[in-house]
Amino acid sequence: MSQTPDDILILGGGAIGLATALSLLEAGRGVRIIDAGAIGHGASHGNCGTITPSHAPPLAAPGVVAQALRWMFTPDAPLYLKPRVDPALWQWLWRFSRRCNRRDWSASTQARAALLDDSRQRLVDWIARYQLACEFHEEGLDYVFRNRRLFERYVNECETLAGLGIASEIFSGSDYERQEPAMLPGVAGAIRFPDDARLRPDRYVAELARVVGERGGQFETDCRATGLQADAQGVSVQTSRGQRRAREVVIALGAWTPAFARQLGVRTPIQPGKGYSITYSRPPLMPRRPLVLKDVSVCVTGWDSGFRLGSTMEFSGYNDELNATRLSALERGARQFLREPVGAVVEERWCGWRPMTYDDLPLLGPAPRQPHVWLAAGHGMLGISMSAATGQLMADLITGQTPAINPTPYRPERFA
């Protein structure tokens, strides 16, 4: 391996690492991305690809703990906790539960909204400027309900979202069924978020990698970072292919960030929230927009190239086994709502780890007490949605520019 120092090393080649690399290249810096596998092979690959300013409200909300307790030991529930002795997980859950109040919910919602809104606007610019071929469409996203009480609860929440500039449209069940022929009868109501969008996430990540490479970014795949040492002049990174030296290092390892950061004495309370998806060929009758089937917590996204059911949240550590019970729950949930819930051909069954923080905000900024080390991790289920804003914010902080949004809510030292 060449010992020529790099300008900036980025550990992790998912959407966050690539978006950060692109923004740094735009700012005139040099980047090298190191990934333990292939570019985009992690959580960036198999999610549902929705771009969702509507998802500003965090998971930690009033009433969530009671619902979670009813679900958490049920293997096919939207939230599942695999019983095991794991002190870090139980501490995380305790801290999460303490944030299920109106004050903390409001603070997280505002901070998430700022990042999501900036990213939504920046993404449109990137797609046009770099000709990203990722099946991007801006027709909005629909929440669909069969439970009337649940529908009414979310309708009430729309008033709060309106105050943050998040537009919504409310439909009765009968009106929605008339305009969406893919839906089975029995809809209680629907909420449309017209400013949401969709893309195919694996193609988005591949296109980001293309643009990064065209602008001089370097890649080192199948290369695992195993250690890091920072000093006043820069950073030395130990990898499975030897040592590299750089002026700056960005840790963008998603759910794998805690184990790496722990070597530095940096606290990153991230838990791996395992999500699942199934990708099919396109069924003849597909919904016109991406859907979230709220009663069963299933996301439905269609593209020209395929059709995907996804979601669920499973806390089972770093277990990478495909749980047939969880996958079946996706199909079973879709069958309650859709006339044609699956495609004729199953193209992929997938699982991946979402990097979940207990305050539902990512860690973006300098690592505490570690010169020249930066963190960009903890985006939960919104890594794709937040990627463009994260990349720009990280580049602004590293290069000393004035950020487009206030970085304070995301600073890693809040966990120090």
Name the least confident of 9-23, 61-75, 114-128, 226-240: 61-75
pLDDT band of 146, cuts 50, 70, 90: very high
Q: What is the mean pLDDT of residues 399-403?
A: 97
Q: Where are the domains of the chain?
A: 6-415
Q: Is residue 25 predicted with pLDDT exceeding 90?
A: yes
pLDDT tens-digit map of 339-371: 999 999 999 999 999 999 999 999 999 999 999
Residue 1: predicted pLDDT: 45
Q: What is the mean pLDDT of residues 197-226?
A: 97
Average pLDDT, the chain: 94
Residue 372: predicted pLDDT: 96
Q: Is residue 73 predicted with pLDDT exceeding 60?
A: yes
Q: What is the mean pLDDT of residues 259-268?
A: 90
Q: Is residue 84 predicted with pLDDT exceeding 90?
A: no
Residue 69: predicted pLDDT: 65
Q: Is residue 127 predicted with pLDDT exceeding 50?
A: yes
pTM for this entry: 0.95
Strands 6-11 and 242-251: parallel
Region 6-415: CATH code:
3.50.50.60
Q: Is residue 75 predicted with pLDDT exceeding 80?
A: no
